[in-house]
Amino acid sequence: MDTTWPWISLTLFAACMFLYVLSPFVALVKLGPQELLNHLGAVTALGEVVTMGLIPIAVVVALRGPLRRELHLRRPRAGLLIVLIPIVIVWPVTTQLMSQYLGTYFPPDAGHNALFEKLLTWHTPGQAAIVILQIALVPAVCEELLFRGLFLSGLRRLIGDWPAVIIVGTVFASIHVVPLVITAPGAAVGMMIPLTILGLCLTILTVRTGTLIYASILHFANNLLALVMANHASDAFVETWMSDGVALAVLTPIALVLLVAWLRLARRYPDPIRAASASERVLCFRSA
């Protein structure tokens, strides 16, 4: 069984994704179309908690697997957390700039904007807390557990680190834009590029350090900035600054330099999977 974990993890990933896609249809049957639309944020968050968070953890625990290794849950280093702060500030701004800039060439339709406005906006502090929980925090934790935890853990043992980085980052972005391909193809194209770049960055952070905590923090910061922009950025601000290619051209190299510098610093704390010998890469579970 020790050598079968990569295949178990990939099969479990596919099953979790199937259940996640199925969850809105189950809610549709239970609630009806209007109630589902009214509670879409809660339904989506609950689906992520169950299918992307609880199920992977439960399976690894049931198979007596070490969570720290198989879901990339090593304890983060305090020094790396502190040095991560500039990246947490610059990278979300860069990805939002890229999304807005590409949005001028691939604009979403009115229906897409209306749905996102309903999901992302708030009017009271209580609503803000709920939206931040559902749209920013839950995805930052649960999506990381599934993609940078379960999926990456098995895939990198089969094909190596860098091919796994490319596949996980691309699949992560694709899952987010697939629902838009039919309803808003322009928005899907515009979102695919920044989401892929973000997905690759998050995956590289995890591979380099062996923990998804850094990626989860950056993921949360990116989601939170998107919510703040949706609620507090005026149209004039977006048109003047966020849709300006000059700002994007200035920040992109800064973001890349910060990431490279952080990754070089992280080399002092190697990931056990990267440091393991080829024979150890498939040896992860204790005997049942």
Q: Is residue 149 part of a domain?
A: yes
Q: Is residue 282 part of a domain?
A: no
Residue-level pLDDT at 190: 79
| pLDDT at residue 262 is higher than 90 | yes
Helix (H, G, I), strand (E, B) or coil at 73: strand
| pLDDT at residue 100 is higher than 70 | yes
171: Cβ contacts below 8 Å, ≥ 6 apart: 147, 151, 199
Residue 56 — very low, low, confident or very high, per pLDDT cuts 50/70/90? Answer: very high
Give the mean model confidence (pLDDT) for residues 74-83: 91
Q: Is residue 62 part of a domain?
A: yes
| pLDDT at residue 288 is higher than 80 | no
| Angstrom distance (rounded) from CA 160 to CA 109 | 40
Which residues share a beta bridge with 211? Answer: 73
Which residues share a beta bridge with 73? Answer: 211
How many domains does the chain fold into? Answer: 1
| pLDDT at residue 247 is higher than 50 | yes
Bigger pLDDT: 5 vs 152: 152
| Angstrom distance (rounded) from CA 248 to CA 250 | 5
Q: Which domain holds residue 212?
A: 2-275
Q: Is residue 152 part of a domain?
A: yes
Give the mean model confidence (pLDDT) for residues 229-254: 76
